[in-house]
Amino acid sequence: MVYFCTLGPKQSWSCINWAPAYHLILEGILILWIIRLLFSKTYKLQETYKLTEKEKEDLIEEWQPEPLVPPVSKDQPFLNYDIVTGPPSHKITINGKECINFASFNFLGLLDNERVKHKALASLKKYGVGTCGPRGFYGTFDVHLELESRLAKFMKTEEAIIYSYGFATIASAIPAYSKRGDIVFVDEAACFSIQKGLQASRSFIKYFKHNDMEDLERLLMEQEQEDQKNPRKARVTRRFIVVEGLYINTADVCPLPELVKLKYKYKVRIFLEESMSFGVLGEHGRGVTEHFGVNIDDIDLISANMENAVASIGGFCCGRSFVIDHQRLSGQGYCFSASLPPMLAAAAIEALNIMEEDPGIFTVLREKCRLVYEELQGIPGLKLRGEQFAPALHLQLERSFGSRDTDLKMLRSIVDYCLLVLPNPNLFLPIPSQSCSCCLSRPVLFTPFTTYTKLKALLH
Amino acid sequence: MTESSANKLLNGDVCHRSSSGKKSGKNGFVKNHCLFQQPQKYRRLREKNQNVTRNSSLYKKPFLESFEETPLLVAVLTYMGYGILTIFGYLRDFLRHWNIEKCHVAREREEQKDFVPLYQDFENFYTRNLYMRIRDNWNRPICSVPGAKMDLVERVSHDYNWTFQHTGKVVKDVINMGSYNYLGFAENTGTCADAAVEATHKYGVGVGSTRYEIGNLDIHEEMEQLVARFLGVESSMAFGMGFATNSMNIPALTGKGCLILSDELNHASLVLGARLSGSTIRVFKHNNMQSLEKLLRDAIVHGQPRTHRPWKKILIVVEGIYSMEGSIVRLPEVIALKKRYKAYLYLDEAHSIGALGPNGRGVVDYFGLDPKDVDIMMGTFTKSFGAAGGYIGGKRELIDYLRNHSHSALYATSMSPPVAQQIITSMKTIMGEDGTTLGADRLRQLSENTTYFRRKLRDMGFIIYGNDDSPVVPMMLYMPAKIGAFGREMLKRNIGTVVVGFPATPIIESRARFCVSAAHTREMLDTVKGAVTLNAEYFYSSDTI
């Protein structure tokens, strides 16, 4: 072909006559074949089958979904909740029987405090009950702003933000900062709301053994080696450690000073969840940072719910403005949900007032925790888990009775015994999944301790 | 982009489409199987986006909705407006970076300067440069009951909305068109408030435990039975937060191997719940039944992606009233589809419960349908009942299952007693069980107010989205500058409105949203209408340049 092009047109034609016939025919066939290939339809290697209408109809007729919910067996232990009549304070009437309450998270005993109720009523008379809107659309009341500034002042941070539900607090805070591609190091014993927050954030989750700083350091070092392989990616991947101050699931405290050291060594941010330790630990009730004497600015975000010590409803996050202000636009539970009813906010403010006026109550609480801790030691068959100053302790079965169901039945029988058999006033212990947790409130009477000897008798 | 245009009138206009859309197949199967036809290809150009259903016999009264298309000139001007703002945004960022302009943005700690930055610069571009300019239209603090009229805390900013100071004064009697107070139960006097006071005296404010453990008070049981009676279902369960109701119960109902078909414009809580469940999610066009039917057919016929195993369950998730559009779900058609294809229906009635229907029982009542057809009826108490929290109602097996498996019941604190009492009292009032006609009066007042307000605004020529019966009235503004200007001007005239822009709405469809309430009087609505008209003259008039 090149040979053709170098000649002029007249000379090219004469060359065609000169070339052998078979050569021309072959070239012609090749050109036609190329044209055909160019214009023919492409075919896929795996041909997708097309169903006829009748087949589709048959498939639709035949398909049977599963029932919406699996059938619930009748002997499901928690089909009917225990009904509490009257206020859930120190004495509680449950299923008709009056008991001493060892089950509510009423650590400072503020659930039936008259001052708190009075303030809540005053707020109710001024604002009504509901807020009828999210924070962005006329749902911000001056009470909310006051509570936020009081919390920030109490915790000695720059800013605080309030959520209307305790569960939603940490579950909305984590996804606001940690996105897909970021890395979060979490303690194995983290509570359920943290797990939901992590699931919503779509980040990489790495669990380290409960309170095991060596395991955490090992994970951090592995991550550092990964980073050195890919420094560009490492520069935009955020890293977080999420721990609880006082763990709900194990009732022990996290080693905060070591965590802060690890934070600066490996450049990881710390999120601290203080639902159980706010209003409990520390000289003034500021939580685990005060307990250990750690500078509060070292912790990037502290989140707590106001349903335990503060005896209201809702939750808050506090920290530096740089960190907290971001949640006002990207915290889902804050932007897309109605704000906290003002009477509950007013109750929380009054509870804070009480906490600030009288720091002695924290000492009293710790003393009582220590007493109960000592008394509960040494019950045969039951193991006590938790720190000495933890207000919520766990009593676990020392050895398993076979399966989880039998264990649960055993624990339930212990609870029923305390509830029904013991003479008035008797104890109530609730039954979450695997262990009994026994929670304390302020004026614990001494008589219940003697009833524990009867518990020992049961387990023999 | 903009939704389908033109008014949709669905009273049985069969019009000129006679033949079926499908040619007869090779095996002679001519019958059309789809419940809802796809529009013909040879339509006339004018009716290109018209959606007509064949089964308009499902509707007992006319279903009038309108979503007028954005005029072309307005769209162009809006994009230009955003373009100019973006350029200025980059300029300001540049000036801030080189310290020519003072930077008000909060900074990272000195000790943590070499950490990976917590926020990427571009994520906050919109917040820093566009949202900051008009930030004073949101988060306005109030200091009274959020009723028909409210008192706002006056605040000023001396540094262009970076920080606010309260002057100490209160702006009194601002007409409230922003709060979700459909039946006017946001009040601090009356039977509801008195009952709540008693409940506080008796129970206190907090509960301190989960429903599972020891937080189940007798008042909760009473409230749940009442809610079940109100809705017309077998059983119901209440939770402390509406957002959490969705995000914690959808994962308990579906899981891997299930399919969730969710509307385009569903609320963030539904989207989060669907994501947390781990099911496959497919989105259908907003309120578009053809799109939903196509997805259903494809899902059942082809099964799960790649493995082609059949789906375990299909759950359709819709809302009663969509709060940004003001549209009402086409419930009769959804139920017809659900029955045909054996799917389950999750109906979120956050805005429609108490606000729609002759008896206030929500969107099911509005269409005159049987509540047993809806598998899961969910709603919130925040809007029409003046309380807080959410509920789920349905068959007894469903609720029993949720009592044991819902994340909220097991791990989250139960509802506060005075809030529960408020729900009980307000619900009894609506049902008429308190012996007065207050509930019926309010329901009638709400529907009259809605019709009147929508008609008046439409007569003035404003573009109003949504269904004619929905108390949520979005009025289109489109341009970014108008968002700020409208909000501020209305406040000057003592009316509090809500303006919404990106990212809650598509970028060129910013709007002002009015929430009509039974507590509004006709004079208040006339005042609002007059103020909006004055504003419109101010903005649209060619004299003011």
**SS3 of chain A:** CHHHHHCCHHHHHHHHHHCCHHHHHHHHHHHHHHHHHHHCCCCCCCCCCCCCHHHHHHHHHHCCCCCCCCCCCCCCCCCCCCCEECCCCCEEEECCEEEEECCCCCCCCCCCCHHHHHHHHHHHHHHCCCCCCECCCCCCEHHHHHHHHHHHHHHCCCEEEEECCHHHHHHHHHHHHCCCCCEEEEECCCCHHHHHHHHHHCCEEEEECCCCHHHHHHHHHHHHHHHHHCHHHHCCCCEEEEEECECCCCCCECCHHHHHHHHHHHCCEEEEECCCCCCCCCCCCCCHHHHHCCCHHHCCEEEEECCCCCCCCCEEEEECHHHHCCHHHHCHHHHCCECCCHHHHHHHHHHHHHHHHCCHHHHHHHHHHHHHHHHHCCCCCEEEECCCCCCEEEEEECCCCCCHHHHHHHHHHHHHHHHHHCCCCEEECCCCCCCEEEECCCCCCCHHHHHHHHHHHHCC
- On whether both B440 and B424 belong to a single domain, the answer is no
**Whole-angstrom distance, CA of residue A345 vs CA of residue A89:** 20
ipTM value: 0.86
Residues 6+ apart with CB under 8 A from B466: B65, B66, B67, B325, B326, B327, B328, B472, B473, B474
Token pair of B263 as six digits: 């509307």
Query: To which H or E segment does residue B425 belong?
Result: helix B417-431
Same domain, B483 and B364: no
CA distances from A244 to A230, A272, A275, A384 (A): 31, 5, 8, 20
Tell me which chain B residues have a C-beta less than 8 angstroms from the C-beta of A78: 212, 403-404
Query: Residue B56: pLDDT band by 50, 70, 90 thresholds?
Result: low
Query: Is position B17 within any domain?
Result: no
Do B390 and B522 reside in the same domain of the chain?
no
Q: What is the pLDDT of residues B85-142, one digit of tens each?
A: 999 999 988 888 888 777 777 777 888 888 888 888 777 888 888 888 888 999 999 9
Tell me: do B254 and B394 sit in the same domain: yes
Residues of chain A neighbouring B138 (CB-CB closer than 8 A) = 136-137
Residue B270: what pLDDT? Answer: 94
Confidence of residue B54 (pLDDT cuts 50, 70, 90): very low
Query: What residue type is B343 in one-letter code?
Result: A
Contact in structure between B274 and B260 (CB atoms under 8 Å): yes
Low-confidence ranges of chain A (pLDDT < 70): 1-18, 43-49, 74-80, 419-460
- Same domain (yes/no): B280, B363: yes
**Tokens (6 digits) for A2:** 């090149």
Answer yes or no: do B230 and B304 share one domain: yes
Span B43-70, mean pLDDT? 61
CA distances, A336 to each of A45, A130, B60, B143, B198 (Å) = 48, 16, 34, 21, 31
Residue burial A242-253, b: 16+ Cβ < 10 Å; e: rest = bbbbbbbbbbbb
Of A79, A176, A124, A97, the residue nearest A345 (C-alpha): A124
Q: What is the pLDDT of residues B204-232, one digit of tens each?
A: 888 878 887 778 888 999 999 999 999 99
Report which of A210, A197, A267 is spatially closest to residue A239, judged by C-alpha positions.
A267
B543 DSSP assignment? S
- What are residue B319's DSSP bridge partners? B348
Name chain B contacts of A347, Cβ cutoff 8 Å. Answer: 205-206
Q: B128 vs chain A: nearest CA distance in angstroms?
A: 11
Between B193 and A81, whose confidence is greater? B193
- Among candidates A110, A128, A164 on the partner chain, residue whose Cβ is nearest the Cβ of B188: A128
Same domain, B297 and B325: yes
Burial class, B177, CB count within 10 angstroms (exposed 0-12 / middle 13-18 / buried 19+):
buried
Please indicate whether residue B241 or residue B540 has the higher confidence score (pLDDT): B241
Q: Which residues of A309-335 are buried (b: 16+ CB within 10 A; e: fewer)?
A: bbbbbbbbbbbbebbbbbbbbbbbbbb
User: What's the alpha-carbon Rg for chain A, to the nearest Å?
Assistant: 34
Per-residue pLDDT tens for B255-268? 899 999 999 999 99
- The answer to whether residue B532 scores a pLDDT higher than 70 is yes
Q: What is the pLDDT of residue A9?
A: 63
Q: Would you call A59 and B301 a contact, using CB atoms and an 8 Å cutoff?
A: yes
* pTM score: 0.85
CATH of the domain at B249: 3.40.640.10
B281 contacts chain A (CB < 8 A): no
The verdict on B323 touching A (C-beta cutoff 8 Å) is no
Say how far residue A314 (Cα) sits from the centre of its chain.
Answer: 14
Q: Is B303 exposed, middle or buried (0-12, 13-18, 19+ CB in 10 A)?
A: middle
Residue at B43 is within a domain: no
A59 close to B (CB below 8 A) = yes
Q: Write the CATH number for B158.
A: 3.90.1150.10
**Closest residue by Cα to residue B100 from B91, B109, B87:** B91
- Asked if B357 and B402 sit in the same domain, the reply is yes
Residue B336 falls inside a structural domain: yes
Number of neighbours of residue B114 by Cβ within 10 angstroms: 7
Question: CB distance from B218 to chain A under 8 Å?
Answer: yes
3-state secondary structure string across B244-292 = HHHHHHHHHHCCCCCEEEEECCCCHHHHHHHHHHCCEEEEECCCCHHHH
Same domain, B67 and B122: yes
| Domain boundary pick from B431, B452, B486 | B431
Q: Of B366, B400, B431, which marks where a domain is finished? A: B431
Please give the pLDDT value at position A165: 92
Chain A residues 308-327 with a CB less than 8 Å from chain B: 308, 310-313, 320-323, 325-326
Yes or no: say if A176 and A202 are a contact pair by the CB < 8 Å rule. no
The domain total for chain B is 2
Considering the domain boundaries, does residue B90 fall inside one?
Answer: yes
Partner-chain contact A81 B211, CB within 8 Å:
yes
Q: How far is CA B379 from CA A80, B270, B446, in A?
A: 23, 12, 19
Identify whether the C-beta of residue A265 lies closer than 8 Å to the C-beta of residue A217.
no
B146 and A139: CB-CB below 8 Å? Answer: yes
The single residue listed with the structure tokens 């026994």 is: A438
Residues in chain A with CB shorter than 8 Å from the CB of B180 are 132-133
Nearest Cα neighbor of A197 from A218, A166, A223 is: A166
For CA atoms B115, B116, B119, B125, give the dihedral sign: positive
Q: Please name the helix (run of DSSP H) or strand (run of DSSP E) that holds residue B429, with its range, or none.
A: helix B417-431
User: Last residue of some domain: B409, B431, B453?
Assistant: B431
Residue-level pLDDT at A45: 62
Using an 8 Å Cβ cutoff, are B238 and B249 in contact? Answer: no
Q: Is the pLDDT of residue B376 over 70?
A: yes
DSSP secondary structure letter of residue B210: B
In a domain, B52, yes or no: no
Whole-number pLDDT of residue A47 = 57
Sign of CA dihedral A31, A32, A33, A36: positive
Same domain, B233 and B308: yes
Long-range contacts of B103-108 (CB under 8 A, 24+ apart): B104/B159, B104/B162, B104/B163, B106/A320, B106/A321, B106/A322, B106/A325, B107/A322, B108/A322
B367 in the same domain as B240: yes
Q: Which domains does chain A have, with CATH numbers?
A: 90-111+359-458 (3.90.1150), 114-357 (3.40.640.10)
CA–CA gap between residue A268 and residue A208 (Å, rounded):
15
Radius of gyration of chain B (CA): 25
By the 8 A CB rule, do B299 and B262 touch?
A: no
The two structure tokens encoding residue A457: 């008798």
Higher pLDDT among residues B9 and A328, named by residue: A328
AA letter at A199: Q
Supply the DSSP symbol for B142.
B
Q: Is residue B6 part of a domain?
A: no
Assess B520–A contact: CB distance below 8 Å, yes or no: no
Residue B34 inside a domain? The answer is: no
Assign B47 a pLDDT band (cuts: 50, 70, 90). Answer: very low
Q: Does A64 touch chain B (CB under 8 A)?
A: yes
Tokens representing B488 are 């501020």
The mean pLDDT of chain B is: 84
For position B449, what pLDDT does the model report? 93
Residue B500 belongs to domain spanning:
61-176+436-540
Give the whole-angstrom CA distance, residue A147 versus residue B127: 25
Nearest by CB to A133, from B117, B180, B403: name it. Answer: B180
User: Rounded to a whole number, what is the distance in Å from the CA of B217 to chain A's nearest CA?
Assistant: 5
Q: Which two tokens stand for residue A25?
A: 């025919």
Is B28 inside a domain boundary? Answer: no
Q: Within this chain, do residues B276 and B359 fall inside the same structural domain, yes or no?
A: yes
Please tell me the predicted confidence (pLDDT) of residue A17.
Answer: 65
- Give yes or no for a contact between B186 and B180, defined as CB atoms under 8 angstroms apart: no
